């Protein structure tokens, strides 16, 4: 992160609001860069989490509700549940330092952005974002510096965002290890996330719950089942909010899935081997293309670190 | 594998019929044990595969169709597609050594077992099996000694199988690294496999294919999507056969999935946060229980290696 430090030119106070598995991973990822001029400050309602982050020297200052941290922060990274995010802005925005860069990591954007922008002070620069990585376990103890390494990041710049601030935020994200940062509209973000993330969680939960209770399923599982159900271990409060904030897009994604599902079901019912094979070849082509894209980016990153 | 060698007491010729990703992984897993008294012999229609396995000293003798291998083999492990398995038995069973243990790795059993037993010589001991691990890529070049390490194995003993032969086969499977060997009826095998394996493949393929073509999806994916679609890269010929051999059980599994899917969809449509959270807690409980079972077995294995 020397490059980051050089380009930032002066000490930087970064406040992390919410030190759960996501906020904690941001903190650890930043601390792992070992830049003395970046100070990490943490706010979390859980006093034990604050103490642990202080003990581990991940943060240099911590508070269970804001007293003096937001006032010093040049950058504020908020990792709260959707419902809590709006509350937090409403309650604490007077404490933000003038000109501060605010960002959040919440997985839905459309209506949330409208709510935030309707109440936001005009002299701070709020840049909406979303890291495309996480862990199925919740809490600071599952946070790791490496969670975001090589992951996608989505930014939803708004007309009033300053380019210099977007650049600064991207430097920070790059330093943590995000590999590919994409700018999108909030609407497109929500549409894509409904497919790449939320639909996956619906599938995993329904798959896990469709088992019968009287079977010793553990003796029959292989890697596929383990992989498809990892995210069936799910933070119920968080994901109920995420699904319902993005209900319309999620239902559209589910409808698109149902079309493919029905086509497969019909091919199986009618023993139509040719149709099945065609679907398999199509999914193989698509998955291979995804792997190629991932591979190219890894190579690019290795060539020019 | 010293224990295996000791307990087998005398040299053993193991023939591998089909050296694709599964048969090749058996061969490499056995060779990795480095037991001089176990000879591995390979039969594969692909001459280049045979040459490579010989060059790599994985097998000591290879043939593109049986000439003298089956005649010497004490154990025959057949890793062919379902349709080819029955053909192979029909064509080659006169070559089997009297008293040989025959097994296969085919992922469906019910009707296949009936077909094999209807034609099988009475003086060989065919023990039906199924390794619960594999790779999404096909061919010998993707075979690895470690594929089966820690995996489940299913055996479907038949009344005529000899206990001593079942024991010997289990010793071999244990040496390769399988962690948990379960005996089941062919019917229950097919029912469970429809859920733990085939349904997962239907979900992965339908998920991958339900994307729209005009989106840069690669920039939006996270670990969940990557995990849920790994097996969307699928051997079309093999899996079309597996699905259709097990059509009835697969459709039942799909119906059970649909019930859960509909319940989730309804909860989303009606913004029923309480129902959603209850489903999430249930899937979390089930997935955690699966992880605990896996964990216990790993620990047991580490304690008494």
Residue A59 has pLDDT above 90, yes or no: yes
**B230 chain-A contacts, CB cut-off 8 A:** 224, 227, 287
Whether residues A132 and A37 fall in one domain:
yes
Q: Could you say which of B209, B222, B269 has the minimum Cβ distance to residue A283?
A: B209
What is the CATH classification number for the domain harbouring B141? 3.40.50.720
Whether residues A62 and A209 fall in one domain:
no
Whether residues B111 and B170 fall in one domain:
yes
Whether residues A46 and A194 fall in one domain:
no
A-B CB pairs within 8 A amount to: 273
Residue A282 lies in a domain: no
Last-in-domain residue among A184, A208, A237: A184
Question: How close does chain B come to A188, measured CA to CA in Å?
Answer: 10
Give, in order, the Cα–Cα distances in Å from A13 to each of A60, A73, A264: 10, 5, 54
Average pLDDT over residues A39-58: 97
Tokens 């070849």, located at residue: A281
Tally Cβ neighbours within 10 Å of residue A166: 18
Question: How close does chain A come to B164, measured CA to CA in Å?
Answer: 23
**Closest alpha carbon within chain B to A296:** B218
Residue A287 lies in a domain: no
Tokens of B50: 């045979």
Q: Give B157-208 as a DSSP string.
A: --TTS-HHHHHHHHHHHHHHT--EEEE--HHHHHHHHIIIIIHHHHHHHHHH
Average pLDDT over residues A54-70: 97
Residue B157 lies in a domain: yes
Question: How close does chain A come to B236, measured CA to CA in Å?
Answer: 5
Whether residues B208 and B114 fall in one domain:
no
CA distance A30 to A1: 9
B254/A265 touch (CB, cutoff 8 Å), yes or no: yes
Whether residues B156 and B214 fall in one domain:
no
Whether residues B197 and B134 fall in one domain:
no
- According to the model, what pLDDT value does residue B303 have? 34
Tally Cβ neighbours within 10 Å of residue A285: 14
A230/B287 touch (CB, cutoff 8 Å), yes or no: yes
CA distance A262 to B144: 36
Whether residues A7 and A151 fall in one domain:
yes
Whether residues B235 and B131 fall in one domain:
no
Task: For residue range A247-274, list pLDDT tens digits in order.
Answer: 999 999 999 999 999 999 999 999 999 9
Q: What percent of chain A shows pLDDT beyond 70?
A: 93
Q: Could you say which of A182, A264, A273 has the minimum Cβ distance to residue B202?
A: A264
A239/B280 touch (CB, cutoff 8 Å), yes or no: yes
**A200 chain-B contacts, CB cut-off 8 A:** 207, 224-225, 228
Q: How many domains does chain A have?
A: 2
**Closest alpha carbon within chain A to B261:** A206
CA distance A66 to A154: 28
Residue B277 has pLDDT above 60, yes or no: yes
Closest of B127, B137, B156 to residue B232, by C-alpha: B137
CB within 8 A of B126, min separation 6: which ones? Answer: B102, B103, B116, B117, B120, B158, B161
DSSP E strands in A18-60: the ranges are 38-43
Last-in-domain residue among A128, A155, A184: A184
The C-alpha angle with vertex B256 and arms to B252 and B260, in degrees rounded to 5, equals 160
- According to the model, what pLDDT value does residue B35 have? 65
Tokens 């280049």, located at residue: B48
Residue B285 lies in a domain: no
Whether residues A86 and A171 fall in one domain:
yes
Q: How does residue B284 score in pLDDT terms, banded at 50, 70 and 90? A: very high
Residue A36 lies in a domain: yes
Q: Could you say which of B207, B290, B294 has the minimum Cβ distance to residue A257?
A: B207
Query: For chain B, what percentages of helix, strand and coil (3-state, to nearest 5) are there?
Result: 55, 15, 30
Residue A2 has pLDDT above 70, yes or no: no
Indicate which of B107, B191, B224 best probes the interface with A, i.e. most A CBs within 10 Å of its own CB.
B224
Residue A300 lies in a domain: no
Q: Could you say which of A227, A254, A280 has the minimum Cβ distance to residue B265?
A: A254
- According to the model, what pLDDT value does residue A134 have? 84
> Which H or E element spans position B13?
strand B12-17
Residue B190 has pLDDT above 60, yes or no: yes
A280/B205 touch (CB, cutoff 8 Å), yes or no: yes
Domain containing B18: what range? 2-184
Q: Could you say which of A192, A206, A282 has the minimum Cβ distance to residue B260?
A: A206
- According to the model, what pLDDT value does residue B302 have? 39
- According to the model, what pLDDT value does residue B78 have? 98
DSSP E strands in chain B: the ranges are 12-17, 38-43, 61-63, 75-78, 101-104, 125-131, 152-156, 180-183
The three-state secondary structure class of A30 is helix
Whether residues A174 and A195 fall in one domain:
no
The three-state secondary structure class of A136 is coil
Average pLDDT over chain A, rounded to an integer? 92
**A236 chain-B contacts, CB cut-off 8 A:** 276-277, 280-281, 284
Average pLDDT over chain B, rounded to an integer? 92
Task: For residue range A179-217, list pLDDT tens digits in order.
Answer: 899 999 999 999 999 999 999 999 999 999 999 888 889
Greatest distance between any 2 Cα atoms in chain B? 68
CA distance A121 to A99: 10
Q: Could you say which of B208, B217, B243 has the minimum Cβ distance to residue A276?
A: B243
CA distance B190 to B249: 7
**A206 chain-B contacts, CB cut-off 8 A:** 257, 260-261, 264
**B234 chain-A contacts, CB cut-off 8 A:** 280, 283-284
Q: Could you say which of A196, A219, A226 has the minimum Cβ distance to residue B225?
A: A196
- According to the model, what pLDDT value does residue A298 have? 67
Task: For residue range B12-48, list pLDDT tens digits in order.
Answer: 999 999 999 999 999 999 998 866 588 999 999 999 9
B209/A134 touch (CB, cutoff 8 Å), yes or no: no
Alpha helices (H) in A210-246, listed in sequence order: 223-229, 236-245
Task: For residue range A20-35, list pLDDT tens digits in order.
Answer: 999 999 999 999 886 6
Starting at the edge strand that comes first in sequence, how are the strands of the sheet with B152-156 ordered?
Answer: B61-63, B38-43, B12-17, B75-78, B101-104, B125-131, B152-156, B180-183
**Closest alpha carbon within chain A to B183:** A219
Residue B295 lies in a domain: no
Average pLDDT over residues A59-88: 96
Q: Could you say which of A219, A240, A283 has the minimum Cβ distance to residue B182?
A: A219
**B257 chain-A contacts, CB cut-off 8 A:** 206-207, 210
Last-in-domain residue among A184, A202, A231: A184
What is the CATH classification number for the domain harbouring A244? 1.10.3660.10
**A183 chain-B contacts, CB cut-off 8 A:** none
**B250 chain-A contacts, CB cut-off 8 A:** 268
Residue B3 has pLDDT above 70, yes or no: no
DSSP label at residue B33: T
Residue B20 lies in a domain: yes
Say if residues A153 and A29 touch (Cβ distance below 8 Å): no
Average pLDDT over residues B131-151: 91
**A240 chain-B contacts, CB cut-off 8 A:** 273, 276-277, 280
Task: For residue range B155-170, list pLDDT tens digits in order.
Answer: 999 999 999 999 999 9
Tokens of B271: 């913004």
ipTM: 0.90
A233/B260 touch (CB, cutoff 8 Å), yes or no: no
Whether residues B101 and B42 fall in one domain:
yes
Residue A135 has pLDDT above 90, yes or no: no
CA distance A114 to A156: 13
B220/A293 touch (CB, cutoff 8 Å), yes or no: no
B196/A217 touch (CB, cutoff 8 Å), yes or no: yes
Residue A45 has pLDDT above 60, yes or no: yes
Task: For residue range B49-89, list pLDDT tens digits in order.
Answer: 999 999 999 999 999 999 999 999 999 999 999 999 999 99
């Amino acid at each position: 992160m020397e490059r980051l430090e050089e380009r930032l030119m002066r000490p930087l106070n970064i406040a992390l609001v919410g030190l759960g598995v996501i906020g904690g991973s941001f903190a650890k990822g930043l601390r792992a860069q070992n830049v003395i001029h970046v100070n990490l400050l943490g706010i979390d309602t859980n006093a034990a989490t604050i103490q642990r982050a202080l003990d581990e020297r991940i943060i240099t200052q911590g508070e269970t509700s804001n007293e003096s941290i937001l006032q010093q922060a040049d950058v504020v990274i908020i990792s709260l549940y959707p419902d809590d995010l709006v509350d937090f802005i409403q309650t604490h925005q007077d404490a933000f330092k003038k000109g501060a860069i605010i960002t959040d990591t919440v997985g839905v954007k459309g209506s949330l952005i409208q709510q935030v922008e309707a109440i936001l002070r005009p002299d701070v620069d709020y840049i909406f974002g979303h890291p495309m990585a996480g862990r199925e376990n919740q809490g600071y103890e599952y946070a790791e510096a490496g969670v975001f390494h090589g992951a996608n990041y989505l930014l939803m710049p708004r007309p009033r965002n300053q380019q210099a601030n977007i650049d600064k935020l991207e430097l920070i994200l790059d330093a943590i290890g995000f590999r590919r940062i994409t700018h999108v509209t909030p609407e497109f973000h929500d549409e894509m996330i409904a497919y790449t993330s939320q639909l996956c969680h619906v599938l995993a939960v329904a798959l896990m719950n469709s088992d019968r209770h009287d079977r010793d399923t553990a003796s029959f599982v292989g890697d596929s089942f383990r992989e498809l159900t990892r995210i069936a271990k799910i933070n119920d409060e968080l994901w109920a909010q995420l699904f319902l904030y993005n209900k319309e897009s999620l239902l559209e994604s589910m409808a698109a899935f149902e079309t493919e599902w029905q086509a497969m079901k019909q091919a199986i019912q009618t023993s139509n081997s040719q149709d099945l094979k065609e679907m398999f070849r199509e999914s193989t082509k698509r998955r291979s293309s995804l792997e190629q894209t991932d591979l190219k980016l890894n190579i690019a990153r290795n060539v020019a670190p």
